[in-house]
């Protein structure tokens, strides 16, 4: 039996549908169906194909070791995986085109420059006006002094104490050390796909996000996980689990 036939037979024996396997592994139904047909073109490469085979086998109760060995024997020998391949998104990232200049903003900037230029000329002309005669200046100083002597002093306003900002975390730091092989998938809180990663046992990975993310773990029983220095996994977690990781230590499962 081929790899796909073995996985399909194990799934039927376990009484699971393709939709249920997809929910347990977080692998799309179309990819699960293609793998059962021995079609790996939608997996995104041999690295992700081996990870999908391993996750599906564990979900349906099959031994993933012989299936991975058969895949490597029939497809190609496993090669070292670069960091670029691990963090390469499955779907291409669309770059936004530069926005065209807004004519309203350009005209506003020109108006500000014109007003500033006019104010500069007015101030310059005032500076060059002839000074008043000494007698007129003396009378003006006397009047000013007389009014200032009879004016009531106004109390100085009390300074308002500055409110110190409360501390707030602006990033989510995730550190994962794998004792067994584990796959990880990151999505946005609204369900948008970000990327997947496969962490081999005995290695570790660190990710930092400046926004809230959802993290799906394929083998939580074989890893040590900390998020912002804390372990978010409930004790005894062995099945795949999704964690909602927000800013400011906001974590839920």
| pLDDT (0 to 100) of residue 175 | 93
| pLDDT (0 to 100) of residue 137 | 61
Report how many domains make up the chain: 2
> Does residue 164 fall inside a structural domain?
no
> Does residue 134 fall inside a structural domain?
no
Q: What is the CATH number of the domain that holds 49?
A: 1.10.260.40
Q: Is pTM, for the whole model, over 0.85?
A: no
DSSP code at position 226: E
> Does residue 147 fall inside a structural domain?
no
Give per-residue pLDDT as tens, 146-168.
Answer: 655 554 555 666 665 554 444 44
- Cβ neighbors of 104 (< 8 A, separation 6 or more) are none
| pLDDT (0 to 100) of residue 156 | 62
> Does residue 113 fall inside a structural domain?
no
- Asked whether the beta carbons of 1 and 9 are under 8 A apart, the reply is yes
> Does residue 139 fall inside a structural domain?
no
| pLDDT (0 to 100) of residue 135 | 56
| pLDDT (0 to 100) of residue 15 | 93
Q: Of 39, 96, 87, 75, give the one whose Cα is nearest residue 197.
A: 87
Residue 19, both tokens: 């939709």
> Does residue 109 fall inside a structural domain?
no
> Does residue 160 fall inside a structural domain?
no
Please give the residue range of the domain that contains residue 36. 3-79
> Does residue 183 fall inside a structural domain?
yes
- Asked whether the beta carbons of 225 and 175 are under 8 A apart, the reply is yes
DSSP H stretches of helix in the chain: 3-13, 18-25, 29-36, 46-60, 64-74, 83-86, 103-127, 134-150
Ramachandran bin of 205, using left for φ above 0, alpha for ψ from -120 to 50, beta for the remaining angles: beta
**Which of 79, 95, 110 is the C-terminal boundary of a domain?**
79
**Which of 49, 79, 109 is the C-terminal boundary of a domain?**
79
- Which parts of the chain sit beneath pLDDT 70? 76-103, 106, 117, 119-169, 248-249
**Which of 79, 94, 124 is the C-terminal boundary of a domain?**
79
HSE at residue 84, side-chain half, CA atoms within 13 A, is 0
| pLDDT (0 to 100) of residue 169 | 55
| pLDDT (0 to 100) of residue 34 | 95
């Amino acid at each position: 039996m081929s790899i796909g036939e073995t996985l399909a037979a194990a799934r039927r024996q376990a009484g699971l549908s393709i939709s249920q396997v997809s929910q347990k592994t977080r692998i799309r139904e179309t990819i699960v169906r293609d793998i059962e047909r021995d079609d790996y073109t939608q997996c995104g490469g041999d690295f992700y194909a081996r990870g999908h085979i391993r996750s599906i086998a564990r979900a349906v109760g099959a031994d993933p070791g012989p299936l991975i060995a058969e895949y490597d024997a029939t497809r190609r020998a496993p090669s070292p995986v670069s960091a670029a391949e691990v963090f390469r998104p499955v779907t291409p990232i669309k770059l936004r085109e530069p926005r065209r200049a807004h004519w309203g903003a350009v005209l506003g900037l020109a108006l500000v420059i014109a007003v500033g230029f006019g104010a500069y000329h007015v101030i310059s002309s005032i500076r060059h006006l002839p000074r008043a005669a000494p007698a007129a200046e003396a009378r003006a100083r006397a009047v000013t002094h007389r009014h200032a002597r009879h004016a009531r002093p106004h109390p100085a306003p009390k300074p308002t104490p500055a409110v110190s900002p409360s501390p707030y975390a602006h990033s989510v730091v995730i550190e994962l050390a794998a004792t067994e092989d584990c796959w990880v998938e990151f999505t946005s809180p609204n369900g948008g796909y970000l990327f997947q990663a496969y962490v081999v046992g005995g290695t570790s990975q660190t990710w930092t996000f400046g926004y809230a993310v959802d993290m799906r773990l394929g083998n939580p029983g074989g890893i040590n996980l900390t998020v912002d220095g804390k372990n978010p996994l409930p004790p005894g977690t062995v099945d795949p689990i999704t964690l909602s990781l927000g800013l400011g230590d906001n974590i839920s499962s």
